[in-house]
Amino acid sequence: MSRNAVIALSLGALLSGAAAIVGLAPASFAANEAEPAVVQTPPSIRVTQAERRELVATLTVTGTILPRDEAAAGTDLNGLTVTALNADEGDMVKKGDVLAVLDRSTLDTQLAQMQASRAQAEANIAQMNAQIGDAEVGVRQAKDALDRAKALQAKGVATQAQLDNARHAFDSANAKLVSAQKALASSQAQLAVIDAQKDNVLLQIEKTEVRAPADGLVLARDATLGGIVSASSGPLFRIAIGAEFELAATVAETALPKLATGMRAEISLAGADKTIGGKIRRISPEINSKSRLGSIRITLDPGSAAHAGSFARGEVETLRSNAVAVPASAVIFRGDKAFLQAVSEGKVATVPVALGARAGGFVEVVSGIEEGQEIVSRAGTFVADGDLVTPIRGEKTGAIQP
């Protein structure tokens, strides 16, 4: 075969292959056009409903357990020995109970001396009364003698000297009467002084019995049997009046406006398993200018096992209301304005809302969202206003969880 013939055969084969490819191309393109288009599913997102629920907000405070009111039992006597002790720490006592007895032997001796001095003063008064009686008789006798002397002198029988002697005798009798009266007044004053001293001794004897000034629980006993008491050594007993205790707590000044007297609280004592109920009795009107803290007093319910001086933590209930609420994580803030991402028919719409109280991870919705309306439970991370989503409700999985 010649070279030209070979070239002609190769060119014919190439043209035949090209024609075959051109003939198949339209059929292949038609097959591709017949395949269905892929539809993209909107992303899944977890939603929740705006529901009506009870909101309870609390404020945590810490402090120390103290008696609500405290009384001291002691004495202002000095140098007396304690001879008996009738109460100890932890005892419940009644008002007037004798807690301790002091030695009164020295005071009994002083009382006996006062009684003897009084008897002597009474005898002096009796003697002065007798002297006054004698002086009054002497005055009457001297007056009668003076009257006779005047009559005789007028008749010329008595001399002037006799008249003068009678006048002097009358003056002397009056002076004796006045002296006796003054002595009586002095004896009566002395008797009053003795009575006052006796009353003072009796009062001191009464103080040798140290009595409880009020009903309550004995917190501390500083008296010892055989010990010598002193007015400067402080009280012998300290009593929690009525066995009532309080939590004295400090609160930041920014939290004080949330509190009010009468608010309930649950108190947790150090090491205790159960809480104790209580309520705010007093809020201090003054803030410490250095610490910026204010103080409150929470009265514990009766019968608590609180111990004075122990540490305690309180949860004060500052709010309890029933309102439409949503998770706090669902709220978006733009400046000072709040928004929620509502979901309706699979489409997200950002709506402005007015918020109220916050408690337990939820926030009250005052307006903008109705009860039962669905919202994105954790908004603002993956979706925006106008996005299409597939809502996931309840316990279903597959939702986007930021």
Q: Which residue has the higher pLDDT, 31 or 237?
A: 237
Q: Which residue has the higher pLDDT, 228 or 166?
A: 228
Give the pLDDT band (50/70/90) at residue 354: very high
380 & 345 share domain = yes
118 & 250 share domain = no
Residue 29 in any domain: the answer is no
Domain boundary among 271, 302, 320: 320
87 & 225 share domain = yes
302 has a pLDDT exceeding 70: yes
260 & 131 share domain = no
Could you tell me if 122 and 209 are in contact, meaning their C-beta atoms sit under 8 angstroms apart? no
Residue 92 in any domain: the answer is yes
pTM given for the model: 0.63
Residue 4: predicted pLDDT: 42
pLDDT in tens, 71-101: 999 998 898 999 999 999 999 999 999 999 9
128 & 191 share domain = yes
Angstrom distance (rounded) from CA 301 to CA 278? 5
Residue 20 in any domain: the answer is no
231 & 269 share domain = no
218 & 265 share domain = no
Angstrom distance (rounded) from CA 180 to CA 264? 78
The CA–CA distances, whole Å, from 256 to 30, 191, 293, 363 equal 79, 65, 9, 21
SS (H, E, C) 244-257: CEEEEEEEECCCHH
Q: Which residue has the higher pLDDT, 101 or 158?
A: 101
Angstrom distance (rounded) from CA 362 to CA 348? 21
Lowest mean pLDDT among 18-27, 222-231, 258-267, 307-316: 18-27
Residue 320: predicted pLDDT: 84
Q: State mean pLDDT over 149-155.
A: 80
Tally of domains in the chain: 4
Crossing angle (nearest 10°) for helices 105-155 and 160-207: 170
N-terminal to C-terminal alpha carbon distance within the chain = 80
Give the pLDDT band (50/70/90) at residue 380: low
- CATH number, domain containing residue 360: 2.40.420.20
Residue 381: predicted pLDDT: 62
Residue labelled with tokens 């009668």: 144
- What is the average pLDDT value for the chain, to the nearest integer? 83
Q: State mean pLDDT over 292-316.
A: 90
12 has a pLDDT exceeding 80: no
Residue 165 in any domain: the answer is yes
Residue 187: predicted pLDDT: 86
Residue 39: predicted pLDDT: 58
Could you tell me if 79 and 228 are in contact, meaning their C-beta atoms sit under 8 angstroms apart? yes
Give the pLDDT band (50/70/90) at residue 199: very high
- CATH number, domain containing residue 247: 2.40.30.170
pLDDT in tens, 45-69: 888 988 998 888 889 999 999 999 9
Residue 32 in any domain: the answer is no
Percent of the chain with pLDDT over 70: 87
169 & 98 share domain = no
232 & 273 share domain = no
- CATH number, domain containing residue 224: 2.40.50.100
Q: State mean pLDDT over 303-321.
A: 87
Residue 306: predicted pLDDT: 83
Could you tell me if 42 and 348 are in contact, meaning their C-beta atoms sit under 8 angstroms apart? no
pLDDT in tens, 63-75: 999 999 999 999 9
326 & 265 share domain = no
Residue 21: predicted pLDDT: 39
Could you tell me if 62 and 249 are in contact, meaning their C-beta atoms sit under 8 angstroms apart? yes
Residue 96 in any domain: the answer is yes
- Domain extent, residue 302, equals 60-65+243-320
212 has a pLDDT exceeding 90: yes
187 & 140 share domain = yes
85 & 234 share domain = yes
Residue 7: predicted pLDDT: 37
Burial class (CB in 10 A: 0-12, 13-18, 19+), 102: buried
Residue 18 in any domain: the answer is no
Residue 22 in any domain: the answer is no
